[in-house]
Structures are given as C-alpha cells and as structure tokens.
Structure 1
C-alpha cells in the first residue's frame, strides 16, 4: 500500500494518523493511504495560505500564467499515472479518467491565458480632466471543497481561476478520493508555485470541520456536493462576510419529442445517464417522451442500455464502472427498491451486479424504470447512480412543465428536428444548462457552468463568469488637470 504525503506551506508532509483509500472495483485491500490531519494542522494550513497570499497577489500575472502553463504541461506528461489513480480511487473507466486528466490541464491553460488579459474597464467621468476605471483584485484565502465523483476536474475547475486571479487556497478533497487532487497540487508545486499559495488538507471531516470552516481568514468557500452539506455550510456562514459558491444537486431531464431522431436520442440519453455510472451532477436521470413515440423510444433505450458492459474501470472493455463506495452502492439500491415499492416497473437492471470478481466491488446494474409518476421519489430526488426513470407526456407544453416541476435546475436537453421547439425549450427550461440534440453532461472550460434553484448559487463556474467569485471590484478616479481649488 502506497503512502501519499500532502502539500502544506510548500512542503510535502505526513502525520501519525492515516486514512485508507480503496478501489471500488474491489474494496478488500486499500490501494493507498493519506494523512488524517488534526485541527491544529488545518489551522497551520491557513497560516501558510495567509503568507502565501501576501506573495501571490503581488506576483506578476505573467509569472502566474507561466507557472500554470508549466503545471498543465506536467499533468499532460503524467497523464497515464494520474488517470490510473483516478480510476483506482474513484472507479471510473480509464477512458473517463484520462479525459478528466486532460481536461484538468485545459483548465490551467485557459485560466493562464485569462490571467494575462485586461482586468478592468475605463469609464466615462462627468468631471473634466478625470479618468476613472475599475480594476479587479483577488479577495484572499479561499477554501475549496471538492467531491468524490470528479476528483480531479472539480479541483481544477475551482483552483485554476482563483489562482490565476491571485488568491491563495486551502483545498479539502473528498476523503474517499484524495489522490487525484494531490496530483494537481504536485504539478503546481513542481511548476514553481510559491510556498503557501496552495495547501491541501486531508482528514475526517467530523474531526476537522470546525477548524476548516470557522477560520477567520476565510473570505470565500467554493463547494461542490450535496444540498444537505452545502446548505449546512451556507447557514454556518450566514453572519460572516464570506462568499459562498455552491454547485449542488440536480435532477436533470431529457425530452424526446415525436419528431426526434429516436436512435440518436437513445444513444445520447444513455451516454448522459450512464457515463461514470451516473455519478455526475449533470447526468440525465429523467426522460420525458412524447406519447406517440414512447413505446418505440423505450424499446431503443432499453436495447442501448443492455449493450453496456459492467466491470472494473481498469478493464478497457468496461463501459459501466462501479459506484464509488459501498455506501453509495447501497444508497442507489435502496432508491431502486423504494421506486418499485411506489409502483415503478423495472425495464432492465434493478439490482447489484455480484457476478464473479464483481462480488467484491460496488457494482449496480444499469437500470431503467417506467411507470413513475411525478410523486414518485425516484422522479424528484437525486439518486446519483446508473438509474433512469421514463415518463410519457402528451405534448411539448406538458414536457416543459415536467422538466420545470423540480426543485433543481441544473441541466436539461431536448431532442427534436423542429427549430422553433428547440428555441422555445431553451427559453422556457428553468435550468442553467440547456442542450439541443446532445447530452446534458458538462461542456468545455470556457463555457459558464452552474444551475438555478436548488442546484447552485448565483456564482457560476467556468468561463470568465467565474472571476466574479474570486475577485473584488475597485473604482479608481484620477484627476490629471490643474489642481482643484482648496475649500475652506
């Protein structure tokens, strides 16, 4: 079993306590261990970040860009080893892990470029002989909390823009998947990131939560995870001047209209629903089908699902990986069981996959459920696994109503050949990401990302929108004419 150190204050350090990291393809033996920090270690990380920020905010944006570009190059050079660790600790296929690794490098390169751009606006001033402008400045020490489902790309999505803007960070990866984020930190460290600018905290949340969330030097928290945890953090910050960026849950819907290319729609929906075993915040989990094509589309959908090959992520033949942990597997199986109790019909799948060596892993069969109604829990609540619920509706208006009948608002898609319906759907779907004839999953680094309603906060991720979270705006007026008269 490999022992992995964490980065704090520019040094790679360990402690006396450890957390084991398991491969969800076979949970019998740990694959690595990372330090289980104590509260005092977390406070020390904030000490380092405070000093790192003092250096980094004065570092030339061109030097920041150079370091980030070099880090991106290192990630690409190390892609095979990094992807292997993503698969080992998360379970996703090697193809998915490699895609995540290269996308992490993309984030560094994109925000390295953004760091070199202008950072303010020249404004008209009503007074003669005045020039007024705005300038963006970093806000300080930001806490980054990332989830287990995308253990490398989410840290990259969060850390790259805030570092490009001149902030420092304390980074808490998910306890189940710390190795991927540590690869990201190592690339930045090896590229020359000054000591203290990025500090990684691994540990059991219950033991370090107070030190992690209550440090007075925190000026912002960016979090991806469940609504219950996100809302608890938000309430904890209610009386503090701390920004909160939350990317929370989703119950994403794909609409299939009667005029759609049904085979293409079935393939796209399966890709969106079952990639990473459905463990994506943008995964399609609801399918709304116009009545005239419901039977045909459902047949095509089930046939496409049944071509998926369940297996360990390290097997190149695998197209459906295990879930990330025994707890997650058991939660998804419980959701399926409850759906059946509430009247749903299993069209395919519906249980754990325990055949052969899969008996020691966290496998769930890809599942399609029919016979659901709006009140069925599986239609309304996030499952976060390889489970897809299908409903039929009468027409376009009913489909949009069904999409919007949710507390969430992250992503939705429509499949149609009618351009008018496509644009109407884009206007009427109450969510942050809308797709037409393609999947609901996340897109490129320069495209703003985030949801409405309970799916997230007003601060978007990705693109240039994200700089609103990690910068503040200062307005500067300069009088360059004759001295103004002194007033008594």
Structure 2
C-alpha cells in the first residue's frame, strides 16, 4: 500500500527549531527511478547555518551529559517508537529518494529501530572499571566521558541505518550531535529528525543541517567546537576528514570503500554460493561498501558456477523499487550511473570478457530512470581497473584460480580490506581463510554484505580508520577514558 505523501520543503533542525537556511535557497531531491519526480526540497545551507547548529549543540552538551544513562536511553526508546509508528512512510520515502527496493527499505527501517533499542539498553551498562591502587587506602577507577559535540557525515546508501548507528551511540554516551546527510538521502534524514523532535529530546541535542559537502561538511570538519567526526563515504573525502581533524586535534572515525571478494572453493554448495553472490553483489544495485565485487572461483567448479550464476542473474527483475516484484532498483543518480557505465567500458577496453549486461536496460518503461543492467565479466586480471577499484554498482568480476592459496593471494591484492567471504565445506579451507584474509568482516558460507548491529564493524587497510562502529565497540570512539585516584 502506497502512503499518500505531498511534496514538502524541509528546513534545518537547529536548537529544537525547524529553521530556514541563511541562503534562503532550497534544492530538490529527485526519484532516481523517475528522474523528473520531486520527492521533496531541502535547505542549501551555508557555513553560518552549521555554526548555529554547533552553537546549539555546544549549549546543550553539559545538561545532556549530566542525565543518567537510563534517562538518555528512555529518549532513544521514544525515537524508536516514533519511527515505528511511521515505518511504512519512512521506508517508502527511502525507496523513492535513493532507489533501493521497498522490501530492502522496510528491512533497513526495522533495523534502525533495533539499533535505537539496542543502544537505549547501553544506558544501563557499566562505563568504567575499578583498578587496584598501590595504596591500600586509595580508590582507583576509570570512567568513560563523552567527547562533547560530534559531527555525523552520513552517506545516501543506508539513509536510515547509518545515521542511526552513528547517532544512537553518540547520544547514549552523552554527546550532542550535528548531522549532515548526503543530498540523495536528505528527505529521509529529515523524517528521522521529525521522529527525534516527536520524542521530545532537549533543544540542541540533535541538529540537522543539509547542503553540499564542500560547504556544510567542510565546516563540520574545520569547526573548533566539533570534538569528534564520524564519517562514512568515499576514500577521497575520508582523507579530507582525517586531515582536517588531525590539524586541530579532533577525534575522527572513517568507514570508506571496499573491493570485497567471495571465494568459491571446489567443494562449495554452488547453489548457495550463487545466491550469496547475487545478494551480496547486486542487491541495492551494488551500492554497499560491503558489496561483493570480485568472485574468485576454483577451476574445478568454475564453469558450473558461472553457468548457474548467469542463469540466475538473467531471471532478476530490474525496475522501480516501489513495485513489489522488482529485485533491483536504479543507481542513486545520473552521476553514479555514469560512473558504473564508465567502469564497464574500462573493463571491456582492458580485455575482460563481458558475459552479461553491460549497459542500460532496453525496456521503454525504464528510460526515465538511472537503471543499469546486472553485469558479469570474466577473464578479469586482478590488476585490471575493475579488479582493483570500487565500482559501487551491480558489476561482478569473475576470476579463476587453482588453489585456495591462490584465491587468498588474489583476494588480498587490493588497497581495501572491508569484507570477505568464502564458500566451502572444508574446515581447513575455512580456517586458513579466516587466518589469512585481510579484512575486518570475515564470513564463512555467508554473503559479503550484511552487518550485525551488536557486533563491531569496520575494515582494514584503505577501508577504515581502524575505529570500529556498532556493538559495544562504539564506546571507544564516542568517549574518552578518565582515570580517577581518590584517597581519603
């Protein structure tokens, strides 16, 4: 059932008030499945709008950190309830704004609710330890204290889950926040903040400023009263975040790209491996940092696996994510579509063999959207561009190897180390893979994509700054340790 919506103009949310940007300029957010359909309008903010938001967060931080953890948790429960009441509306907004299928959007919205509830419970858990002192009459202990004001710079590909898995731990551990969402997810973000407002959080604890990364994002990076920055996005922008934070001694957390391999051993269940490859590589149109990109297959099962993969891929339905029978939606915008198509052209130019897809669908009903066909290459040398660089689209690169050792060498031969998977029934293969793969998320007989909210998430090498998100590991970024020594 489609939720009736009208085209709205969303303002910034600063100090508990919806506020027009100083520029008095708005930008349209469009539907990537119907590129002329406006989903909503958002503020095109200036640096001074960011300054006002940071000032509001700074004013609110002392009283917020003084609240008991359980009281902060109660607010998170209220946000979760507000989102739950608008679950279908938010999911449909997500699909219309950035293109992922409605079942995926519904699942992500449910996950966002679960994240809030999980961290609400963290408000009742310990934040320190008692440590024996050398003086028997003294008490020595540690306590976790919030950073202060945290800037959240979030991407468009998970417009509910990622803002919430950054915001929820920031809040429960006593920080106030300023959120800058990606343009292609700003309407969805504004609806989340409406739920924050409905939950009654004190003014200034959560602030939303929309606009360009070069203006809004850069001001968050540079502002002296931003004590920490958590960022998910491209490696190029992540490096800018790190450099800006280091220049003024702010804490930073980066989650960036991936070039994630799945290894298919010669004893794998091929049907399960094919389904995991499709789900991990092509769902959300391949627009996941954990998406499967390289499919490394042992020679003994290569042809059988390839045949099954091509057959299943041909059966996938590409279309508007709002239609229940659509399996894969559009790229998020025209620029992303052109990026994917340029990588496909580069793959062909460098000598890879195109097995399937490789262009825009011919269906007349899809000509108004940013659609691309699910694409499969073989004869991909690991050093080719499509074997090294993140495409962020539905493109699979098949690579044939002789042994598991060869597969691991190919898998590790990239600058990234986010997620990796192997399909095998051999326990020795599995443990060799777990031991030797250079990735932060390691999965055996599962797809590469998929993150458990209660477990640490992050990558190695060029995929991450090393600081982990989600689960109890999140406390490491959002707090500092204070060591206390008391003698009567």
Report the TM range for the smaller structure's normalisation.
Answer: over 0.9
Aligned residues of 1:354 and 1:363 also touching (Cα < 8 A): no
RMSD: 1.1
The residue that corresponds to 2:4 in the other structure is none
Aligned residues of 1:168 and 1:196 also touching (Cα < 8 A): yes
Q: How far apart in 2 are the matches of 1:251 and 1:127?
A: 53
> Are 2:167 and 1:159 aligned?
yes
Deviations 1:76-133, CA, capped at 9 Å, x for gaps: 1110000011011110010010111111111110011011111100111121112211
Deviations 1:230-257, CA, capped at 9 Å, x for gaps: 0122122232211110000000000000
> Are 2:26 and 1:26 aligned?
no
Q: How far apart in 1 are the matches of 2:232 and 2:221?
A: 15
> Are 2:52 and 1:44 aligned?
yes
Give the total of aligned pairs.
480
SS of structure 2 residue aligned to 1:82? helix
Aligned residues of 1:256 and 1:289 also touching (Cα < 8 A): yes
Choose from 191, 216, 235 the match for 2:224.
216
> Are 2:237 and 1:229 aligned?
yes
**Where in structure 2 are there 5+ consecutive unaligned residues?**
1-6
Q: How far apart in 1 are the matches of 2:221 and 2:251?
A: 12
Counterparts of 1:131-142 in structure 2, within 5 Å, are 131-142=139-150
Which 10-residue stretch deviates more, 417-426 or 250-259?
417-426
Choose from 261, 275, 283 the match for 2:283.
275
Q: How far apart in 2 are the matches of 1:427 and 1:161?
A: 30
> Are 2:424 and 1:416 aligned?
yes
Q: How far apart in 2 are the matches of 1:248 and 1:205?
A: 16
Which 10-residue stretch deviates more, 305-314 or 233-242?
233-242
Q: How far apart in 1 are the matches of 2:275 and 2:438?
A: 24
The residue that corresponds to 2:414 in the other structure is 406
- Post-superposition offset of 1:210: 4.3
SS of structure 1 residue aligned to 2:152? strand
SS of structure 1 residue aligned to 2:288? coil
> Are 2:75 and 1:67 aligned?
yes
Which 10-residue stretch deviates more, 37-46 or 451-460?
37-46
> Are 2:340 and 1:340 aligned?
no
- Post-superposition offset of 1:147: 0.5
Choose from 314, 331, 344 the match for 1:306.
314
The residue that corresponds to 2:133 in the other structure is 125
Which 10-residue stretch deviates more, 409-418 or 176-185?
176-185
> Are 2:8 and 1:2 aligned?
yes
Q: How far apart in 1 are the matches of 2:401 and 2:415?
A: 20
Q: How far apart in 1 are the matches of 2:60 and 2:330?
A: 39
The residue that corresponds to 2:472 in the other structure is 464
SS of structure 2 residue aligned to 1:221? strand
- Post-superposition offset of 1:6: 2.6
The residue that corresponds to 1:351 in the other structure is 359
Which 10-residue stretch deviates more, 436-445 or 406-415?
436-445
The residue that corresponds to 2:124 in the other structure is 116
> Are 2:445 and 1:440 aligned?
no
Q: How far apart in 2 are the matches of 1:131 and 1:205?
A: 48
**Where in structure 1 are there 5+ consecutive unaligned residues?**
481-488
SS of structure 1 residue aligned to 2:367? helix
- Post-superposition offset of 1:478: 1.9
Deviations 1:15-39, CA, capped at 9 Å, x for gaps: 3210100000011132210111122
Choose from 180, 193, 197 the match for 2:205.
197
Q: How far apart in 1 are the matches of 2:244 and 2:136?
A: 48
Q: How far apart in 2 are the matches of 1:94 and 1:209?
A: 29
Choose from 283, 293, 298 the match for 1:285.
293
Which 10-residue stretch deviates more, 298-307 or 328-337?
298-307
- Relative to structure 1, the CA distance from residue 334 to residue 57 in structure 2 (aligned partners, 3 Å threshold; closer, same or farther) is same
Q: How far apart in 1 are the matches of 2:245 and 2:78?
A: 36
- Post-superposition offset of 1:354: 4.3
SS of structure 2 residue aligned to 1:21? strand
> Are 2:388 and 1:377 aligned?
no
Q: How far apart in 1 are the matches of 2:242 and 2:483?
A: 29
- Post-superposition offset of 1:301: 0.9
The residue that corresponds to 1:13 in the other structure is 19
Q: How far apart in 2 are the matches of 1:227 and 1:54?
A: 34
Counterparts of 1:142-153 in structure 2, within 5 Å, are 142-153=150-161
Deviations 1:152-192, CA, capped at 9 Å, x for gaps: 11101111101000001110000121022222222222112
Q: How far apart in 2 are the matches of 1:177 and 1:445?
A: 21
Deviations 1:189-238, CA, capped at 9 Å, x for gaps: 21121100111010123344543321110111000000011012212223
TM-score by length of structure 2 reads 0.97
Which 10-residue stretch deviates more, 154-163 or 184-193?
184-193
The residue that corresponds to 1:483 in the other structure is none
Aligned residues of 1:354 and 1:360 also touching (Cα < 8 A): no
SS of structure 1 residue aligned to 2:129? strand
Aligned residues of 2:58 and 2:225 also touching (Cα < 8 A): yes
Q: How far apart in 1 are the matches of 2:148 and 2:450?
A: 28
